[in-house]
Amino acid sequence: MLFALLLGMALHFLVEDPRCQPGIDFAARTALRLGVGLLGARITFDEVWGLGLGAVAWIAAGVVLTILVGLLAGRTGPMGARFGVLSGGAVAICGASAAMALAAVLPRDRTSERDTILVVVSVTALSTLAMVLYPMVVAVFGLTDHETGIFLGATIHDVAQVVGAGYSVSPEAGDTATIAKLFRVAMLMPVVLCIGLVFRGGGGAGAAPLPLFVLGFAALVVVNSAGLVPGAVAAGLSAVSGWCLVTAIAALGIKTSLKALTEVGAAPLVMMVGETLFLALWIGAGLWLGI
């Protein structure tokens, strides 16, 4: 996604060409929603419940609280409530994918594309940094493989980095981390739905209280949990989802001016570092309490 974003930003001049505008808009909206909806093919309820009720409840609470921390930081800081929800959701759920899904239901304004790109760049960088640092952190504290998997899966932002960090420790840690992460991905559906309902009076995309891609996501989770989706089909849908999301982030890069990003300053990164640290401390506290 990061390479697609940089390529898109290099082609920013295309946004001035009216012949390109329909395709850019289609990729940034329709392809995005299709990609998010197809994420549901990765998840089953049985895998999630295998983590244990205490861990599931604690991780879910961490998702909600991290979004609220982002909202509070946005309202009290220079970035605003919309950026707070966007950044908090990206950190809490699944990185760039969550940022783009939330951007699709939040009210649109003149800074919408800029905010989305800022979140994607920051959350991708933080996720890669966490992939390197967090396995060393859990080794210092002497966590078991199961506890390590829960910590890595519940705190690192993007799925790929979770997999990389988990399996660098052990196969058990990798399996547990992947399941914990997919539970956070499953939280995307209710979170996007709730935020869409809250912001439905804001106009634009936020006016739709029940986005179709959210319904599609939920339907795929249910069907996949029932064992009705063959493994090869689920893998294919997951691959299509990935390509749709990459296409969407490239389109958002095309629509975003590098000059506009440099004018924002350090505030977005500081906010997202704070949200990342809050989530890590919350999950760490839960493990210490024996979730």
What is the mean pLDDT of the segment spanning 84-96? 90
Sequence spans of domains, the chain: 2-9+20-289
| Per-residue pLDDT tens digits for 50-87 | 788 889 999 999 999 999 999 999 888 888 888 999 99
Q: Would you say 124 and 158 are in contact if contact means Cβ atoms under 8 Å apart?
A: yes
In Å, how far from its chain's centre is CA 214? 14
- The pTM for the full model equals 0.74
Distance CA 13, CA 214 (A): 33
| Per-residue pLDDT tens digits for 181-226 | 888 888 888 888 888 777 765 444 434 445 677 678 778 888 888 8
Distance CA 76, CA 176 (A): 37
What is the mean pLDDT of the segment spanning 167-181? 86
Relative orientation angle of helices 159-169 and 171-186, to the nearest 10 degrees: 160
Reply yes or no on whether the pLDDT at 284 is more than 90. Answer: yes
Instruction: Work out the number of other CB atoms within 10 angstroms of the CB of residue 242.
Output: 17
| Per-residue pLDDT tens digits for 114-172 | 888 888 888 888 887 888 899 999 999 988 999 999 999 999 988 778 877 888 888 88
Q: What percent of the chain has pLDDT over 90?
A: 24
